Structure 1
């Protein structure tokens, strides 16, 4: 009977406690309005670590960090805690903070080779994801020095070499790894990829070398053809020294104009088309030629003027049945035109017979090809502009 009464008293006490629990609010409970935000401040339930840890706002997390970085603990414990911290940042894809944690762990110099190797390979992975391929490779090399057969170090090294397009080196990393891990699928896949890229790169290099050799032979043949014809390529003119007297053309054909050595520097056309002189299968030179019409400030550009063609051949096409729209007076007929080239150094104009071939003009002792493009001035004979333009100029025939 006493036992029954005791049980009854106990039940009454529990009822009283539960009644009080229902009416009295817990002082440290989450608020109904912000419970999700407060819940996320608990380290165990955080979805993502905050960028800056405020001890007032995140007291529990600040406490955990203090434990991780407690300098009184053995270096091995500190390094392991920093590795775990780095791994947490890595999972959140916060690779920069992961690198900082792994680096701090390595700086502890704990002497644990396994732990140091993990810190290095993990930092290599973080660097790899950030695109720091050279740093990733350096970490893999450092890890392999500690443990030459470490699988992750070998994989990270191969991955970094492939990203750096060092395919031959990547194959070496894979071969070293497969000696101790012959069945590892990741290493096998990396080796296959590296070997494929290596063979493609070597093939492209061979093709490029053959192409370069062919282009070089073509250039040498082109320059030899120009040299054999006695055509002069003009390089930039050196400033004339003060007090020097100009010489007559018969005294010094080269004068201060510096003739280009036979190289491609003097063959680059300045025209937007990028046309250049070329040698065809019949060993005939074809030049880009610029026609200048100073009266109207207009130009014509012929991208491939055969050296054997005469100027009249092109004039007949350019000024045939249809005259250019800028010729309002309709006076640019082939029979009305006079052609000249200018010797700027001698301040002299040489008149060209339209029946003359391009080669004959290019071989003239005072004709210098500038920027790979011969220039010809076109004027209308006996026009007012023609008289004004040539006034005071020295005129010579070919």
Structure 2
């Protein structure tokens, strides 16, 4: 009877506890609003390690990290823990932090060479995924020194060499590996790829050399054609003052004239056009017309040396005049052409019926940047008078 009463009292007490439990919140429970975030702070359930470990926010993780980096433990244990930490970062594709962990493990300088080799190989893999091919190759090489037939190091070294386009070295890595693993599929694939890339690179180099030789020959022929015509190329923007300054000095005496090299033919970079020799040994020049009155220009990419200026002016200012010529005064018969001798501060008037070659052969004409240029003015216009006032003007 007493026992039955005791059981009854116990049941009554449990009922009371359960009722109380229902009405009182558990103080250490997750909050209803942020329970997922709080759950993710527990190391066992973390999907990704935080960038920075705040002991206040991640006390459990901070404690685990302190255990990993406990300096009182033997170097081998610390290095292994750092390796495991690096592997965890690697799995998360956080290769930068993985490298830091592997590096810290190597700094332990433990006596376990097998462990050091793994740290080096793993760090090589992290560097490889970050595109640090030279660092990956260095780590693979260091791991291979510890164990020459370490397969992962051999594969990573070959891969890094291929990415660095040092294909002969990649083949060497593969051959070393195939001595120990003659049927290793990955090494065989890498060697075949490296050999293919090597042959392709050698073929491209041969083609480039042949092309360079051909271009060099064409350039030499071009320069010879220019030299034979007595045309002067100018390297600098303005000729250097020459001794006496005589009008009749020989055209070859100006120190600013190029030694007939391609430094004076650089227009291709700016305009996409360059002087060339056709099959009939005729030179074709890119030519620039300047209209200072309207701050306009015309660029002729192919002006044959045998053509006269009027041939092009008649096309440019024929039936349809340019939109900037509001007064319709740029008629071919109204135009005057000049070239400027900057050294002598003189303008030379050019007859539109003259050929380009004759002007380029003038002793005071210097081709600048590979593009002959000429000033175009409307005769007797107000701008024409203003522009020519105070200038020295000569005819050809």
TM-score (norm 2): 0.85
1:344 aligns with 342
CA shift, 1:361, in A, is 1.1
1:279 to 2:277 alignment: yes
CA shift, 1:294, in A, is 3.4
1:368 aligns with 366
Superimposed CA distance per residue, residues 186-214 of structure 1 (whole angstroms, 9 cap, x where no aligned partner):
22222233233323322222222222221
Q: Structure 1 unaligned runs (5+)? A: 1-7
Helix, strand or coil for the counterpart of 2:208? helix
In 2, the alpha carbon distance for the partners of 1:315 and 1:115 equals: 82
In 2, the alpha carbon distance for the partners of 1:280 and 1:200 equals: 34
Q: Is the 8 A contact 2:275 2:370 kept in 1?
A: yes
Shift of the 56–199 alpha-carbon distance from structure 1 to 2, 3 Å rule, reads same
Helix, strand or coil for the counterpart of 2:303? strand
CA shift, 1:12, in A, is 9.8
In 2, the alpha carbon distance for the partners of 1:287 and 1:102 equals: 63
In 2, the alpha carbon distance for the partners of 1:389 and 1:188 equals: 77
1:151 aligns with 151
- Measured on the aligned residues, the alpha-carbon RMSD in Å equals 3.4
Q: Pairwise mapping of residues 1-150 of structure 1 onto structure 2 (< 5 A)?
A: 30-31=29-30, 33=32, 36-37=36-37, 39-150=39-150
CA shift, 1:275, in A, is 1.5
1:5 aligns with none
The more displaced of 22-31 and 192-201 is 22-31
CA shift, 1:161, in A, is 1.8
Shift of the 18–118 alpha-carbon distance from structure 1 to 2, 3 Å rule, reads farther
Shift of the 109–262 alpha-carbon distance from structure 1 to 2, 3 Å rule, reads same
1:214 aligns with 214
Q: Is the 8 A contact 2:275 2:285 kept in 1?
A: yes
The more displaced of 83-92 and 15-24 is 15-24
In 1, the alpha carbon distance for the partners of 2:8 and 2:184 equals: 68
Q: Structure 2 unaligned runs (5+)? A: none
Helix, strand or coil for the counterpart of 1:261? coil
Superimposed CA distance per residue, residues 108-146 of structure 1 (whole angstroms, 9 cap, x where no aligned partner):
211212111101101111122222222111111100111
The more displaced of 150-159 and 378-387 is 378-387
Q: Is the 8 A contact 1:30 1:38 kept in 2?
A: no
CA shift, 1:356, in A, is 2.0
In 2, the alpha carbon distance for the partners of 1:257 and 1:326 equals: 40
2:320 aligns with 322
In 2, the alpha carbon distance for the partners of 1:296 and 1:98 equals: 65
Superimposed CA distance per residue, residues 126-185 of structure 1 (whole angstroms, 9 cap, x where no aligned partner):
122222222111111100111010011111112222222223222221221122112222
CA shift, 1:383, in A, is 4.5
Q: Pairwise mapping of residues 298-309 of structure 1 onto structure 2 (< 5 A)?
A: 298-309=296-307
In 2, the alpha carbon distance for the partners of 1:45 and 1:199 equals: 52
Q: Is the 8 A contact 2:158 2:174 kept in 1?
A: yes
Shift of the 177–24 alpha-carbon distance from structure 1 to 2, 3 Å rule, reads farther
CA shift, 1:395, in A, is 3.3
In 2, the alpha carbon distance for the partners of 1:52 and 1:39 equals: 18
Q: Is the 8 A contact 2:239 2:342 kept in 1?
A: no
Q: When the two structures are aligned, how many residues end up with a matched partner? A: 390
Helix, strand or coil for the counterpart of 1:305? strand
1:188 aligns with 188
The more displaced of 189-198 and 57-66 is 57-66
Superimposed CA distance per residue, residues 39-93 of structure 1 (whole angstroms, 9 cap, x where no aligned partner):
5444333333333344455444344333322333322222222212221222222
